Amino acid sequence: MRFISDIFLTRFFFLLFAGIVLLFAASFAVESLFVVGEICLLGLFGLTFLDALLTFTSKEPLIVKRKVQNRLNLGDVNEVEIDVTNQSVQPISFHLHEGFPVEMQERSKVFKAFLKPKEKRVFTYEFTPKERGEYTFRNVFLLVSSVFNLISRKITIELEECVKVYPSVLQMKKFELLVFQKQKTTSGIKKIRRIGNTSEFEQIKNYVQGDEVKTINWKATSRRNELMVNQYQEEKSQHIYCIIDKSRNMQVQFEGLSMLDYSINSTLVFANIALRKGDKTGLITFSDKIGSQLPADKSGGQMRRIIEELYNQKTHYLEPNYELLYQSVRRTIKTRSLLVLFTNFETEFAMRRALPMLRRLNQKHVLVVVFFQNTDLQELAFQQAKNTKEIYQSTVAERMTSMKGRITQELQKNGIQTILTLPSELSINTINKYLELKAKGSI
């Protein structure tokens, strides 16, 4: 409540001074001090009255505007801006209390400023949403006072608005730029040599730095007297499906985001890359029952449809039904496709229970199983144990971490492509596997 003491500080000193003078006068019966005390009190009352006039004269002394995007990005830093303009003819000091979304759990932040007439002040803060859905920014209220700071006035600004948090479009654009620019190896995207020739001739164009020397067309070069190269395009219109497990295993959290939300963000990134590569991309979600089913397509509106489907995904706190998934894929996907399954195996028993259906899927399609390393367990496994309790924790964590490696080996032994990844590296590793399979012509 520091702002309350600031607002009434001047009044307190006036009253304190007047009270001391009157008490001293009463003790010594000094008439002149009585007069001084009365003058101080009258001055205080008069100044307070003047302060009230200055504070309440203007109906709307301040204009407040909040600038926030209608769609925020899940797991990314989103900036919110508050503009405050003094439209009165007198200087104003204020304390602004923002109507933060409840999910921010922000209760102590207060914006303070002193504005001259017609002056504007901009406040910014950062908001990182950890869940998809609607977030409500509530009304703003102000405690306004004049230069004397004796009277405060509460003003409520009607600024309540709802914004939606979608899978991260920022990450999607970031990885799109990394994949399609020439020099991308430093960012983690691997430059993979194409095996064989599954490309078809597209056109002859001028040589630019970065083109392969072996594609130079020497006949065209001699005719034009400048380097010309053959440009090829990849075989396109292959079918890609992202399959997301929504069961309880996907609710494990890392840095505030669940594995499900990491998978959703990565699916958005991966689907955008595949569409840009000319492939048809679709989506399937499941848990104990089949959720969304979006057929593979590469039309202009497919990316928007994928975003809307991902936004609406909700968790089912039940076990995943892989047999139902197999039956659904068999019934709806007729052509050989790349299936990227985002799931999370915590035990070898869970993997073996799903393995028969995964093998069947892999017989008809190219299946890539993506699951997660537990970063908390890794930290425990490699910690310096100082007591018996920490030794037990480290031992158990090491066993569970090595179990993930055994799950990977078992899946690979059965011919299933796997990605065991940290949540923070999910998108990069998924894109690299996709580019690798494209280069090998496996799809």
Asked if the 169-193+234-440 domain carries CATH number 3.20.20.140, the reply is no
Give 28 or 113, the one with higher predicted confidence: 113
pLDDT at 200 over 60: no
Question: In the prediction, which pLDDT does 352 show?
Answer: 93
pLDDT digits (tens, 9 = 90+) for 259-276: 999 999 999 999 999 998
Q: Which of 163, 173, 65, 74 lies closest to 123 in space, CA to CA?
A: 65
Q: What is the mean pLDDT of the chain?
A: 81
Question: In the prediction, which pLDDT does 381 show?
Answer: 60
pLDDT digits (tens, 9 = 90+) for 201-221: 567 888 887 677 778 888 888
**Mean pLDDT value across residues 235-247:** 86
Radius of gyration of the chain (CA): 33
Question: In the prediction, which pLDDT does 209 show?
Answer: 75
For residue 197, name the pLDDT band (cuts at 50, 70, 90): very low
Q: Which of 160, 157, 141 lies closest to 94 in space, CA to CA?
A: 141
Look-up: residue for tokens 């109906």? 59
Question: In the prediction, which pLDDT does 26 show?
Answer: 53
For residue 354, name the pLDDT band (cuts at 50, 70, 90): very high
Q: Which CATH code is given to the segment(s) 62-166?
A: 2.60.40.10
pLDDT at 183 over 50: no
Structural domain boundaries of the chain? 2-56, 62-166, 169-193+234-440, 200-233
Secondary structure (H, E, C), 23-84: HHHHHHCCHHHHHHHHHHHHHHHHHHHHHHHHHHCCCCCEEEEEECCCEEECCCCEEEEEEE
Question: In the prediction, which pLDDT does 294 show?
Answer: 94
**Can you tell me the distance from the alpha carbon of 362 to that of 380, in angstroms, rounded to the nearest whole number?**
35
Residue type, 406: R
pLDDT digits (tens, 9 = 90+) for 20-74: 555 555 555 455 656 665 666 666 666 666 666 667 777 788 889 999 988 898 9
pTM of the full predicted structure? 0.73
